[in-house]
Structure 1
Amino acid sequence: MDTISNKQRVLSFYKLIVGQRKAELIPEFVREDYIQHNRTAKQGRAGITAMINYLKTLPPPSVEAKSPIVRAIQEGDFVVTHLDIQFMGKRMAVIDFFKLKDGMLAEHWDAIQEMPDQTGLAVTAINGNSEIDKHASAENSKHIVEEFYKAVISKQAPVLISQFIKPDYIEHDPEIIGSGKSLINYLCDGIGGEIKLHRLIGEGGYVATQSEFKSEGKLFALYEIFRVEDNKIAERWSVKQSIPEGDSMF
């Protein structure tokens, strides 16, 4: 096994196996006991192989096509990617979480959400900053996001929660933008008391989170990416997906 980073391994997996449909390379990237948390897909290498074989039945992507990977975050054995995918006439936002072992893909979680038409909008569900500040402290960024969530979950007053948000904060969730609410009011008025934070992954000023919440009796997975700047949350992207009864995405 070569010594490239886990992030590079995941990006190569996307390019060679998903993009170029090279199913013969799967054993070089994916463990035999690969765990898939998306219950619509099969487990192990067989699940990846089935997905690639299906993709082979579709028209191949244009060689000029832009990479669907907008952001990639690595912390230790975890790699998180944020994707902008056009599939079967729909545009989808996807956040993937991968866990690697000895440089090979060992476990995968994802959340997928169809995006509305945002043509001509300055702020969309996907665009915005994507460069990781290598000088920023990942631990500090994770601490800020974790404290923000603690404040939301404990139902602190919005004025106290606002200390974590930059004045020029940019929200990318079309649902929140359309509601006319701030992120704080959206969380506090709707899901704040019902949300459970499962995982934080940080690199530089970026923090990816996995959480779940209940709304109107239904369970949802919420995968988010926060950008922290000057010790405050400056930008946020998210993907929300319903969780079937009795299932788990964590």
Structure 2
Amino acid sequence: MKITPTLALGMCCILMCLAQSAKSYTYMDTITNKQKVLSFYKQIVGLRKTELIPEFIIENYKQHNPTVKQGREGVTEMINYLKKLPLPPEDAKSPIVRAIQDGDLVVTHLDVQFMGKRMAVIDLFKLKDGMLIEHWDAIQSLPDESGKVVTATNGTIDIDHNVSAESSKLAVEQFYKAVVDKQPADPFVDKAYLEHDASVITSGKGLAGYLANSEMSVKVHRIIAEGDFVVVQSQLNKQDKAFMFYEIFRVANNKIEEHWSVEQAIPDGVTAEDMF
């Protein structure tokens, strides 16, 4: 396994998922897919219990991160690497900011800090019969946001389950259809929406204007929703470079109210479609 600086840093940061605020589940429990993923973070990544990997990961686990081997072997190798590192303090704050489940798909949004560096991470897992069978991710380095009221990961956390996931998903689908078709997309965005993406904020064009830039294109691969939260996994092309682009939307009254994103350049020599 080739441990790149970014991968090593990311894995170290994920150790913080040991946080006491997250409920611990043993592999014997009957739990939801979201709880299974949170238990995976704690039991496997955090406590490094490689002996439990067969209880969480299928043998032919599909990994879309090109720096990690396929199957259980890749996960085992990663955890064995982590065993060489010190455990985080018991009172460490969990970096898991949001967790969103849509059927067999679970998305986690993390804000991780390690050795003075900070990153936003989005993990996407697919499960079957309570087992993790596939994984995608994106990691983006973040600047110092000390003192800022709005940061890359703060904002609304709790999911409103009184809101229909299907209606939330439809609002985002309509927004993206308008963007792709070069039609006005602003009607699908609330005038007071809160933007967490520094690139969008800097552009001064708003979300619709930023995505509609003639020098960029977006190809949507998946739209995932739980309550008023919607996750979009897509490929972003800009400046002749392809990126993994993950967005989280919060929808209210059928309009986008809040928006976060994580983007990571697709490594040279890697086929873009393999990342999705």
TM-score by length of 1: 0.94
% same residue = 63
Distance across 2 between alignment mates of 1:95 and 1:211? 13
Unaligned runs of 5+ in 2: 1-27
Query: Following TM superposition, by how much is the alpha carbon of 1:168 offset from its aligned partner in structure 2, in angstroms?
Result: 1.3
Distance across 2 between alignment mates of 1:163 and 1:227? 15
Kept after mapping to 1: 8 A contact 2:243/2:264 = yes
Match of 1:197 in 2: 220
Alignment of 1:175 with 2:199, yes or no, is: yes
Match of 1:249 in 2: 275
Match of 1:132 in 2: 159
Q: CA RMSD in A?
A: 1.4
Alpha-carbon displacement from aligned partner over 1:168-226 (angstroms, at most 9, x marks no partner): 1011112222333311221112555x211110111000111111121121111111111
Distance across 2 between alignment mates of 1:196 and 1:44? 28
Correspondences of 1:99-178 after superposition (within 5 Å): 99-156=126-183, 160-178=184-202
Alpha-carbon displacement from aligned partner over 1:50-87 (angstroms, at most 9, x marks no partner): 11111122221111011111100101110010011123
Correspondences of 1:164-243 after superposition (within 5 Å): 164-190=188-214, 194-243=217-266
SS in structure 2 opposite 1:58? coil
Distance across 2 between alignment mates of 1:190 and 1:224? 20
Distance across 1 between alignment mates of 2:202 and 2:178? 24
Give the counterpart letter for 1:170 in structure 2.
L
Moved over 4 A (4+): none
Count of matched residue positions in the alignment of Structure 1 and Structure 2 = 246
Question: Which of 95, 105, 114 is the aligned partner of 1:78?
Answer: 105
Mean Cα deviation higher: 53-62 or 133-142 = 53-62
Distance across 2 between alignment mates of 1:47 and 1:246? 18
Distance across 1 between alignment mates of 2:103 and 2:30? 14
Classify 1:54/1:74 alpha carbon distance in 2 versus 1 (closer, same or farther; 3 Å): same
Kept after mapping to 1: 8 A contact 2:234/2:244 = yes
Classify 1:221/1:93 alpha carbon distance in 2 versus 1 (closer, same or farther; 3 Å): same
Distance across 2 between alignment mates of 1:238 and 1:5? 25
Query: Following TM superposition, by how much is the alpha carbon of 1:88 offset from its aligned partner in structure 2, in angstroms?
Result: 4.7
Kept after mapping to 2: 8 A contact 1:190/1:215 = no
Distance across 2 between alignment mates of 1:97 and 1:24? 23
Distance across 2 between alignment mates of 1:95 and 1:190? 27
SS in structure 1 opposite 2:127? strand
